[in-house]
Structure 1
Amino acid sequence: MGIRKAVLPVAGFGTRVLPASKAIPKELLPVVDQPVLQYVVDEARAAGIEHFVFVTGRGKSAIEDYFDEAFELEHALGQKASKADILKDVQRTKLPPGAASFTRQQAPLGLGHAVWCAKDIIGDEPFAVLLPDVILRAKPSALAQMVEAYDKVGGNIVAVDPVPEENVSSYGVIAPKSRDGRLIEMSGMVEKPPREEAPSNLKITGRYILQPEIFGLLEDQGKGAGGEIQLTDAMVRLMESQSFHAFEFEGEEFDCGSKAGYFEACVAHALEHPETAGAARDLLQKYTKK
């Protein structure tokens, strides 16, 4: 079965980017002219995702509004021929009728619990998980690359990219077993290992393709790191009975959940955007001279 549905856990407080995320969901912070979450949804749509399951929390209703129709705004823009391009951009943000579901995670119990909250909507089929504060800039989209690999090997797949060895203790990394190009058969995953004990420098990058059996494991998964229900712990258990591969996607990662990562995303995308590229270069030169 192909990958039709995706889970986007958007219930987090965004503590790493406070106070900005106190009133605005971190997923809606703008990168040039569209929110972080739009980049993630675009990536998924380019991979053939038809149905999005947003796992939300209190204070996140703006996300539901964002993907809905903005009748008054669209009507006002439609009255002016000069705003036609802007209207087209606004209309592009709408998801088709029936293409989005919103379910609440009532308490911040971890990524694993957030994914579990989507189980009745996903049903008995493989699905994708995309962390909504990670932009992966790639062509074809990073998830599309993973889906192509999934069509060949099935099972479960996580996206990875290399990090400097001195930084491995900050991430979850994989233990590789064998490699075929960008596709890597895995023998395990380790969360934030000491540098000298890390099985590789390939970190898990916020994109997953998982089989529905993960939900049964998440149902009784105990709390792990940080006192939360960790998706990684359930994946390690699932690895005992199903195949797991890592896919080293071709592209760039921007972790918009941190201040530095968010700033990097804004700069990188401003330098690529046709309306801002020239000004962005001039501003960078201006401030780097100081």
Structure 2
Amino acid sequence: MKKPIRKAVLPVAGLGTRFLPATKAVPKEMLTIVDRPIIQYVVDEARAAGIEHIVFVTGRNKHVIEDHFDMAYELEDTLRSRNKDAALDLLEKHRPEPGSTSFTRQQAPLGLGHAIWCARDIIGDEPFAILLPDVIIKSQVSCLRQMVDLYDQTGGNVIAVEEVPEDQTHQYGIVELAEKINDNASKISNMVEKPAPGTAPSNLMITGRYILQPEIFELLSNQTKGAGGEIQLTDSMLSMMKNQSFASLKFEGRSYDCGSKPGFLSANIAFGMDDPALAEELVPFMKEMIRQPLAAE
């Protein structure tokens, strides 16, 4: 019998060097997309998929993430005294239930695989989800919800994928597909990290959402350092693939890599356009910005 997906791991220990000096004092996960920090979008996705407990794997100077998901007594008391009920309701809506979050430290930057391994005792002997917080996904149905629905059908392990241009496959982890499960899902026969140009087995990149079985932890415990001198999650997944099934899901939606400046700015525009009042001001501004370089030519 398949165990349900109750827990999720969010590795948030990274330094965010691509956004310095902004991230010198503010974690990259707390940079805002419109009016919410990046990490809030990822947590909301997990909760929309039915996740009951979220494990944050943090590092130094990340205490503000923990504070964000806690009560803010002084702020809330001030809002209450000023009858700011809408603001109070918004804070309460985004605050997790007591006991539904855990925070553990990755004490050294030893890679994604090591970060996931740090959550082993909290996850225990059950399947779990991983959501990389650099990636936020805009979709009608939570990407992780789509993955959980596939897991309920297939069991095993599930990885979210999306298409990238052929000439960009060397920048990503790429999956090789076996037989189809349905129109959007297939079994995976291999994964290649940043294949050389022209050698990629497909144009489907790994997006940063995973459902994995707990056996991954034992493999990570014995995993030797890989690319970059780090413990790579992909290496252990490849080892687990010898004994367990992996499925890919080409999810409905669009991802934004908020670990890059273009992705971060694109996400702000995309999510900002969801607000009619903001869109009313954004559209004329964007048209003006587009015309300027064209006029200069």
2:143 maps to amino acid: A
2:161 & 2:107 partners in 1: Cα distance? 30
2:188 and 2:238 map into 1 onto residues whose CA distance is: 10
Alpha-carbon RMSD:
0.9
CA distance in 2, matches of 1:140, 1:109: 33
TM-score computed with the length of structure 2 as normaliser: 0.95
The residue that corresponds to 2:76 in the other structure is 74
Question: Quick one: which of 209, 216, 221 aligns to 2:218?
Answer: 216
Q: Find the residue that maps to 1:197 and give its secondary structure.
A: coil
The letter of the residue matching 2:55 is V
Match of 2:152?
Answer: 151
The answer as to whether partners of 1:176 and 1:186 remain within 8 angstroms in 2 is: yes
Matches for 1:92-241 after TM superposition, within 5 Å: 92-179=93-180, 180-241=182-243
Mapped partners of 1:274, 1:79: distance in 2? 31
Amino acid at match of 2:137: L
User: 2:291 corresponds to which residue?
Assistant: 289
Q: Which residue identity does 1:240 align to in structure 2?
A: K
The amino acid across from 1:222 in the alignment is T
Quote the Cα distance in structure 1 between the aligned partners of 2:138 and 2:44: 11
Length, aligned pairs only: 289
What are the Cα deviations for residues 1-32 of structure 1, in whole angstroms up to 9, with x where unaligned? Answer: 11000000000001222221111100010000
Counterpart selection for 1:41 from 32, 37, 43: 43
Alignment match of 2:24 (pick from 3, 22, 31): 22
Q: Secondary structure at the match of 1:3?
A: coil
Give yes or no for contact 1:66–1:93 (8 Å, CA) kept in 2.
Answer: no
Q: Unmatched 5+ residue regions in structure 1?
A: none
Question: What TM-score do the two structures reach when normalised by structure 1?
Answer: 0.98
AA aligned opposite 2:72? A
1:84 paired with 2:68, answer no
1:72 corresponds to which letter in structure 2? E
The 10-residue stretch of structure 1 (47-56 or 267-276) with the greater mean CA deviation from structure 2 = 267-276
2:256: which partner in 1? 254
| Partners of 2:246 and 2:73 in 1: CA distance | 45
Mapped to 1, the partners of 2:284 and 2:75 lie a distance apart of 33
Please identify, of 48-57 and 131-140, the stretch whose mean Cα deviation from structure 2 is larger: 131-140
* 1:84 positional shift: 2.1
Measured against aligned partners, the alpha-carbon deviations of 1:203-259 in whole angstroms (never above 9, x if no partner) come to 000000000000000001011111111100000000001000111100010000001
Moved over 3 A (4+): none
Counterpart of 1:283, as a letter, is F
1:276 match: secondary structure: helix
